[in-house]
Structure 1
Amino acid sequence: MPKPPVPRLTVITLGVSDMRRSITFYEALGFVRKMHATGEVVAFFDTGATVIGLFPWDQLAQDATLPDQPRPGAFRGMTLAWNCRSAKEVDEVIEFAVSKGAQRLKPSHMTDYGGYSGYFTDPDGHPWEAVVAPNIEVGEDRRVHLPD
């Protein structure tokens, strides 16, 4: 029996309504765009561990054989996270994102689990949490390090 494949998350692709606006937004947040040869057909950003991909919403839905309409106006059941090293960094990340066109969803606050977090959305409403979580270390390499 062959060995099973090694599980890994490599790319998170976000459906977007305006490629140019979304590319500009993610570049403004400081994510480094790679593979510029794809133009505005698809965009890839290095996140330090995985990749964020941007693809036109209707084409992504078609590719996944899902309906393009109606587009959800409510919670989609997932968030993206930007883990931080301190509460001060959480506040800075949220203020920075808002200054680049994000919408603030929830102000930074102490959480019931002993962390500190707040939320913003990208131009298409994809929610991001900026967070400091107990026992989740953000190293000097800016990557998340989880305990065993």
Structure 2
Amino acid sequence: MSKELPAPVPRLTVITLGVSDIRTSIAFYDALGFSRRLKATGEAVAFYDTGGPLLALFHWDQLAADARLPHKPRPTTFRGVTLAWNCASREEVDAVLMFALSKGAILLKSAHETDYGGYSGYFADPDGHPWEVVVAPGIEVGDDRRVHLAD
């Protein structure tokens, strides 16, 4: 009779984006103001402090190989994942979108009122990874840069 193992504590620690040109992506995320950590990795991989899970940038084909997935054909359409930059106000949403665009982001959707009482817009990074910039009811951003949800 086998003994059931205890369930591990679930956690999300790193979000890794596959990128075409790591120098361009490093420059973009540096320009957005994310704090790069563990710089000793050079251009092999870049890690950024986000106030929550780390954001990592890794060469697209190497990331695919590491996960034993084909790196081609590379999707040119929506990949089923978005990243979010939660804000404390509508003004902050507008400011973040304008800032990201000034650093080379591509506007996907202008900021607008949402059907759930929030305010959001979208930009894409140099590899087309979509970011939602949003303020939403019940979701607050604390001084610790972490998202706090209502119960």
- What TM-score do you get using the length of structure 1 for normalisation? 0.98
Is 1:76 the equivalent of 2:82? no
For residue 8 of structure 1, what is the aligned residue in structure 2?
A: 11
Once the two structures are superposed, the pairs formed by residues 1-148 of structure 1 within 5 Å of their partners are 1-148=4-151
Give CA-to-partner distance per residue, 1:63-104, whole Å, 9 cap, x none. Answer: 111111111111110100000000000000000000001000
TM-score (norm 2): 0.96
Secondary structure of residue in 1 paired with 2:44: coil
Aligned counterparts of 2:29 and 2:66: Cα–Cα separation in 1: 23
For residue 63 of structure 1, what is the amino acid of its counterpart? D
List runs of 5+ in structure 1 lacking aligned partners.
Answer: none
Larger C-alpha radius of gyration, 1 or 2?
2
SS at match of 1:112: coil
Q: Distance in 2 between matches of 1:3 and 1:128?
A: 36
Structure 2, gaps ≥5 residues long: none
- Deviation of residue 3 (structure 1)? 2.2
Q: Report the AA paired with residue 97 of structure 1.
A: A
Q: Letter of the aligned partner of 1:14 in structure 2?
A: L
Q: Which amino acid aligns with 1:29?
A: L
Paired AA for residue 71 in structure 1: R
